[in-house]
Amino acid sequence: MKLKAGASPSVKAALAALFAAAALLAALPGAAAAQTDTLRVTLAEMLQSAGQANPMLRAARNAAEAAEGQRLASLAGFLPHLSMSEMFSRSNDPVYAFGTKLRQSIFSERDFAMSALNFPAPISNYSTRFVLQQPIFNGGRAWNGRRMADSYSQAAQKAAGYTAEETAFQVRKAYYSALLARESVVVLDAALTAARSHKHQAERMSAEGLATRADELKASVRVAELEQKRIAAANSVTVAGEYLKLASGVHDNRPVLPLDSLDAAAFNAPLDSLIAFALASHGQLAAADQAAQAAGYGAKAALGSLIPSLNGFAQYERDSQDAFGKDGDNWMVGVSLDWNFFDGLGSVGNVKSARAMREKALNEAAMLRHKVEVDVREAWLNLQAAGKQIEVARGARDEAGESLRIVENQYREGLASITDLLDTEAAATGAGLNYSAALYEYNLSLAGLRLATGGYPIND
C-alpha cells in the first residue's frame, strides 16, 4: 500500500508502525510456523479450487453426464435388441407335454396312444432362447427422441457452464469481501493509533492546564468506539474467509489471508458489444434455447404414438430335459405391425401436453433472452456508477486526511477544540472506509458484469 500525498502525519505514522511491526514479526523465530497456521491464497488459486471442488459445480457436471447417458440410451430406437433367457418348466398338461416332446425331438409313435395323449406323464423342459428385435419404423418416435435427447444433453452442458460462471462469481464476491474486511482493519488500526495519540495529547494538555478533563473523556470514548469497530472488522475477516472457503470447496480449519489487493482495474467496453456477447455466449440462455428445441422434438415424438410401428424379430430356441442342453432346436423370423389406434385418448392427451410444454419452453427462453439484456445493462450501469464513486471517495479521503492534519496542528496550538479534532478524525476514518468500500463495489460490479454476459473476458 502506498501513502498518498496529503495524508495526515498521524495516519502515516500509524501505517508505518503497522508495516514495521509486520516486518518485525516475520523476522522473529517461529514466524514461519505462524504463517503455516494461515491459509494464504490468491484469487486465482481460489477460482481453480472452486473449479475442481465446489459441490454445486460438480453436481451440475453430474447432471450433464446424466443427460449424455440419456442421449446414449436414445440409440435404442435404432439399434437391434438381443436378449437371452433360460426357463425351466414342468407340467402334465396334455398340450404342454405334446409340444414339449416335439420341441425336444423325443416324440415317438407310442405318444399317439390315447392314454398318452389324454393322460401324459409329467415332463420337464429347459428352454434356452435367443431373441433379436430390430425396430424398422415407429412413426418418427426414435428419430425425434434421439434429437430431443441430444438437445437436452447440450442444454445440460450449457447449464453446467453457467453454473461454473455463477460459482466463479461467488468466489470473487467472497474474496473481495475478505479483502474489504482486511482493508477495514488496516484503516481502523491507523485510526486507533491516531485516536490514542489524541488521547495522550489531551491528557498531557489537561495536565498542563491547556485542556479540561472533559477533553480526556471525549478522547477515551473515541478510542473505545474505534476498538469496538476494530473487533467487529476483525470478526468480519474471519467470517468472510469462511464463506470464501465454502465457495471454493476448501475444507481447511485455518483462517484465510487473501494476498491480493483491492484496486480499480480499467475496463472499457461498449454496451452493445457486451449485450451481443451475452446473447451469443450466455450459458443459461443457451440452455433454455436447447430445452425449447428439445421440447419441440418431444412434441413430434408424441405425435408419432398415433402412427403404426413396424418391427422385425428373429428367435432361436433350444429345448432339453437338461439345463442349457440341446435335445431339439427351432428358429423363427418375422415382422410385426402394431397400431394402437385408440388408447382411451391417452396418446391424444400426451400430444396436447407435449405441444403445450414446447410453447412454455419457447416463452421461457424468450423471457430469459430479454432478462439477459436487462441484466447486462444493469451490470454495465452499476460498473459505471462504481467507477465514478471511486473518484469521489478518493478525493474525499485525501481531503479528509488534509483536514485532519490541519485540525491536529490547530489543536496543539489551542486553536481547535477536542470535539473538532475527534469529529475530523472520525470523518477521515469514515472517508478511508468509504474508499475501500468503493473499490469493493467496483470489483463486485465487474464480477457481476462478467456473470451477466456469460463470461466476457475481463482481467481480475
| pLDDT tens digits, one per residue of 170-224 | 999 999 999 999 999 999 999 999 999 888 888 888 887 777 788 889 889 999 9
Report the pLDDT value the prediction gives residue 152, as an integer from 0 to 100.
Answer: 95
Report the pLDDT value the prediction gives residue 340, as an integer from 0 to 100.
Answer: 86
Q: At what angle do helices 283-303 and 141-207 cross, to 10 degrees?
A: 160
- Please determine, for residue 20, whether its predicted confidence score (pLDDT) is greater than 80: no
Rounded to whole angstroms, how far apart are CA atoms 317 and 326? 9
User: Letter for the amino acid at 394?
Assistant: R
Q: What is the mean pLDDT of residues 109-128?
A: 91
How does residue 65 score in pLDDT terms, banded at 50, 70 and 90? very high
Report the pLDDT value the prediction gives residue 364, as an integer from 0 to 100.
Answer: 95
**What's the whole-model pTM score?**
0.81
Rounded to whole angstroms, how far apart are CA atoms 245 and 268? 31
Rg over CA atoms, the chain: 39
Q: Tell me which H or E stretch contains 223.
A: helix 213-248
Report the pLDDT value the prediction gives residue 29, as an integer from 0 to 100.
Answer: 37
Report the pLDDT value the prediction gives residue 460, as an integer from 0 to 100.
Answer: 61
Report the pLDDT value the prediction gives residue 26, as an integer from 0 to 100.
Answer: 39
How does residue 84 score in pLDDT terms, banded at 50, 70 and 90? very high
Copy the grid coordinates of residue 385: 456508477
| pLDDT tens digits, one per residue of 421-446 | 899 999 999 999 999 999 999 999 99
Rounded to whole angstroms, how far apart are CA atoms 120 and 384? 96
172 close to 443: Cβ distance less than 8 angstroms: yes
Report the pLDDT value the prediction gives residue 393, as an integer from 0 to 100.
Answer: 95
Mean pLDDT of the chain: 88
- Please determine, for residue 242, whether its predicted confidence score (pLDDT) is greater than 80: yes
Residue 9 burial (C-beta neighbours within 10 Å; 0-12, 13-18, 19+):
middle
Report the pLDDT value the prediction gives residue 36, as an integer from 0 to 100.
Answer: 59
- Work out whether the CA dihedral 193, 197, 199, 200 comes out positive or negative: positive
| pLDDT tens digits, one per residue of 366-414 | 999 999 999 999 999 999 999 999 999 999 999 999 999 999 899 888 8
- Please determine, for residue 27, whether its predicted confidence score (pLDDT) is greater than 60: no
- Please determine, for residue 2, whether its predicted confidence score (pLDDT) is greater than 70: no
Transcribe 351-408 into DSSP letters. HHHHHHHHHHHHHHHHHHHHHHHHHHHHHHHHHHHHHHHHHHHHHHHHHHHHHHHHHH
Give me the residues paired with residue 39 across strands: 256
> Is 85 strand, coil or helix?
strand
